[in-house]
Amino acid sequence: MAADSTVVSNTENLMKYMSLDQRGRVMAEYVWIDANGGTRSKTKTLSKAVKTVEELPEWNFDGSSTGQAPGDNSDVYLRPVAIFPDPFRQGDNILVLCETWDADGSPNKFNFRHDAARLMETHAKEEFWFGLEQEYTLLGTDGWPYGWPRGGFPGAQGPYYCGVGTGKVYCRDIIEAHYRACLYAGVNISGINAEVMPSQWEYQVGPCSGIDMGDHLWMSRFILHRVAEEFGVRISFEPKPIKGEWNGAGLHSNVSTSATRAEGGMKVIEAIMKKFEARHVEHIAVYGEGNEARLTGRHETGSIDKFSYGVADRGGSIRIPRQVAKDGKGYFEDRRPASNADPYQITGIIVETMCGGL
């Protein structure tokens, strides 16, 4: 891909430095979630390689610079919760996913992992599995979808979904790089596909059990932003980036428990649907900002105002896959979450609705 004129990089020159010996020391990239559903990160040098989060020191950052704390009490603490091999620096270097904690010992306002982790632990015997389908859009540095005519539109939707060939897909290099980087990092990425709107893509993460779902999805988002940065392309998780006859972007959330996966699971799923119906409004409240522009009842979505479900129904809130109905057991797909929703909040409220709160 030709670099945008505003992007200055010299990969060949950089490689000379990247191959210098680290002298046994290790770079740990501490990653956290900010106030706007983005990721932030900074690096710490460790004296030696580590294998577990217990070996990692707590750290902190200036929360007044990220909208996560007031200026007069700005320290926010970073508590390591998961380690991933670093696909960018490689070797013993690591990515460290962190929870954010305030100085008074309470979870930061934007730390949605804390409650989710407690819920997962409380209901661990249900053996929750989740699989999330992350849709997103590639934008040029001008904020318009990558590869679209400047200020204009490409041909109508149709040839792009799982498309092959020039003019049908864009930035396959970024998508391939992200896929490989996730595999290297041990993120449980399970597939990719080009989406209905040109320059929109999807990857799936899962099945993951319990809190791992949020951890792996957040790390996959960090890696995506980080890869795209090197290509001078922006990643958008906007649920409806382009108004009109263009598909929005979702975060379909597939769910199962040991009971739904066992014989008679279909009956269990039917009972779960009643519980979901009763809490539609509460779910929508944490299923992403701007989701009302996407959940219109058109473009393969259900209406935001009304809960519905059905077998093989891509126009409902929840779809029970045909194969699951046929087998009489398996999982279901909550199609409501928007691409920008927080996976901890999604999986958290699903567990709460099915099993009760803390």
Q: Which is nearer to ligand ADP, 127 or 292 (CB)?
A: 127
Angstrom distance (rounded) from CA 108 to CA 116:
14
User: CA of 123: how far to CAs of 51, 120, 154, 216, 236, in Å?
Assistant: 28, 5, 48, 20, 34
Segment near ligand ADP (CB under 6 A); pick from 12-20, 78-86, 123-131, 302-310: 123-131
Which 177-236 residues touch ligand ADP, going by CB under 6 A? 190, 204, 206-207
Looking at the DSSP bridge assignments, the partners of residue 32 are 40
Q: What's the min distance (Å) between Cβ of 132 and ligand ADP?
A: 6
Radius of gyration, alpha carbons of the chain: 21
What CA dihedral angle connects 116, 102, 56 and 346, to 10 degrees?
A: 20
What string of DSSP letters covers 194-239? E-SSTTEEEEEEEEEETTHHHHHHHHHHHHHHHHHHHHT-EEE--S
CB of 127 to Mn ion, least distance (A): 22
| CA atoms of 252 and 303, how far apart (whole Å) | 15
Q: Which is nearer to ligand ADP, 283 or 335 (CB)?
A: 335
For ligand ADP, the closer of residues 80 and 265 by Cβ is 265
Binding mask 139-178 for ligand ADP (x = CB under 6 A): ----------------------------------------
Residue 133 binds to ligand ADP (criterion: CB under 6 A): yes
Q: Report CA 277 to chain centroid distance, whole Å.
A: 25
Query: Interface with Mn ion by CB under 5 A: which residues?
Result: 133, 202, 252
Residue span binding ligand ADP (CB under 6 A) among the ranges 101-109, 212-220, 254-262, 268-276? 254-262
Q: Which residues bind ligand ADP (CB under 6 A)?
A: 129-131, 133, 190, 204, 206-207, 252, 254-256, 261, 330-331, 333
